[in-house]
């Protein structure tokens, strides 16, 4: 009987280990959380992993604060790069890709209430419209932030902003000149409209983040930090010449154990 029980325990532990990466070594550095949409997915959505419920988002931000993490902003990173201003101890970057309106209606109030800060990567040409690049087979369109909402959040200093190109182009599927334009033009236009430096850039689909010719164009546009979708935690301080920063993809069905492992191990699942 005993062998049977220990067999069960071993099998259970194996299953647990296969699903959750608790056995990985702890990682420290600058964890960068990657969110997209906060809210309830539209009916029939095939992109549910990109939607985190407001309840889960609140729990996750509360967990960060309870565990001594200090949410920092793109402006904090710029101050570090320009003036050597140290980041807060145990920094974490909460980022949102694309600039969905639900970031304003659902994430912003939670961050404000809990006293945390977030950062949104905007797609310039979609502001005030909807996600024009979406695949209607996978999800109906989702409205994007308006300039008024962006400016309100900027004034509150709860949300900071970076660029996610002009059109959400896959930079590996356009010419190098177009890739350079996507990076440069969005930086200039967002800076002009918001009156502040856009120091940070995220590659749509993560594409091109590790292609030297594309990355060169992005850094030439004047960005101080670029963000990939490669899973993990980059060390801090970071040598920008080395490569784009890694991020932690927070999925819609992540539970708090996943979240804990993402923040401490850089990965929760295979
Ligand atoms: Zn995107």
* Helix/strand/coil (H/E/C) assignment for every residue in 164-196: CCCCCCCCCCCCHHHHHHHHHHHHHHHHHHHCC
Cα–ligand 1 centroid distance for 164 (angstroms): 7
Query: In b/e form, how buried is each residue of 166-193, taking b as 16+ CB within 10 angstroms?
Result: bbbbbbeebeeebbbbbbbbbbebbbee
Listed in sequence order, the residues at least 6 apart from 223 whose beta carbon sits closer than 8 Å to its beta carbon are 163, 183, 187, 198, 199, 200, 201
Cα–ligand 1 centroid distance for 208 (angstroms): 13
Query: To the nearest whole percent, how much of the chain has pLDDT over 70?
Result: 91
User: Which tokens hold the place of 4?
Assistant: 């049977």
Cα–ligand 1 centroid distance for 125 (angstroms): 13
Give the residue-averaged pLDDT of 50-60: 98
Cα–ligand 1 centroid distance for 170 (angstroms): 9
> What domains can be seen in the chain, in order of their start residue?
26-265 (3.20.20.370)
Output the pLDDT for position 156: 98
DSSP string, 89-123: SSEEEEEEEE-BHHIIIIIHHHHHHHT--EEEEE-
Query: Is residue 31 helix, strand or coil?
Result: coil
Cα–ligand 1 centroid distance for 26 (angstroms): 29
Cα–ligand 1 centroid distance for 220 (angstroms): 21
Cα–ligand 1 centroid distance for 203 (angstroms): 7
H helical segments located in the chain:
2-19, 54-66, 74-83, 101-102, 108-114, 147-156, 176-194, 212-220, 256-265
Cα–ligand 1 centroid distance for 3 (angstroms): 51
Cα–ligand 1 centroid distance for 142 (angstroms): 13
User: Which tokens hold the place of 39?
Assistant: 């809210």
Minimum mean pLDDT among 20-24, 72-76, 99-103, 228-232: which range?
Answer: 20-24
Cα–ligand 1 centroid distance for 4 (angstroms): 49
Cα–ligand 1 centroid distance for 134 (angstroms): 10
Question: pLDDT band at 77, cuts 50/70/90?
Answer: very high
* C-alpha Rg value of the chain to the nearest Å: 19
Output the pLDDT for position 153: 98
Cα–ligand 1 centroid distance for 97 (angstroms): 5
Task: Give me the chain's average pLDDT, please.
Answer: 93
Decide which of 49 and 16 is more confident: 49
Cα–ligand 1 centroid distance for 14 (angstroms): 35
User: Which tokens hold the place of 163?
Assistant: 């660029």
Query: In b/e form, how buried is each residue of 228-258, taking b as 16+ CB within 10 angstroms?
Result: bbeebbbeeebeeeebbbbbbbbbbebeeeb
């Amino acid at each position: 009987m005993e062998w049977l029980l220990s067999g069960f325990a071993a099998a259970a532990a194996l299953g647990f280990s296969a699903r959750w990466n608790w056995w990985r070594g702890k990682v420290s550095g600058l964890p960068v959380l990657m969110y997209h949409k906060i809210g309830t997915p539209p009916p029939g959505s095939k992109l549910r992993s990109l939607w985190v419920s407001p309840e889960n988002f609140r729990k996750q931000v509360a967990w960060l604060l309870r565990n001594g993490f200090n949410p920092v902003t793109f402006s904090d990173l710029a101050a570090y790069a320009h003036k050597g201003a140290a980041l807060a101890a145990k920094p974490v970057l909460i980022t949102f890709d694309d600039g969905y309106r639900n970031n304003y209606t659902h994430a912003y109030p939670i961050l404000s209430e809990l006293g945390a800060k977030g950062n949104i990567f905007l797609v310039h040409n979609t502001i005030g419209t909807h996600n024009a690049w979406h695949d209607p087979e996978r999800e109906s369109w989702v409205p994007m932030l308006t300039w008024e909402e962006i400016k309100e959040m900027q004034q509150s200093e709860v949300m900071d902003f970076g660029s996610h190109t002009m059109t959400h182009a896959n930079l590996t599927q356009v010419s190098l000149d177009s890739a350079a334009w996507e990076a440069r033009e969005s930086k200039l236009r967002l800076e002009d409209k918001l009156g502040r430096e856009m120091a940070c850039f995220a590659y749509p689909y993560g594409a091109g983040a590790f292609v030297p010719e594309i990355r060169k164009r992005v850094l030439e546009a004047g960005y101080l930090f670029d963000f990939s979708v490669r899973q993990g935690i980059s060390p801090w301080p970071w040598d920008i010449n080395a490569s784009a920063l890694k991020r932690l993809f927070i999925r819609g069905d992540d539970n708090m154990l996943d979240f804990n492992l993402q923040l401490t191990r850089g990965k929760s699942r295979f």
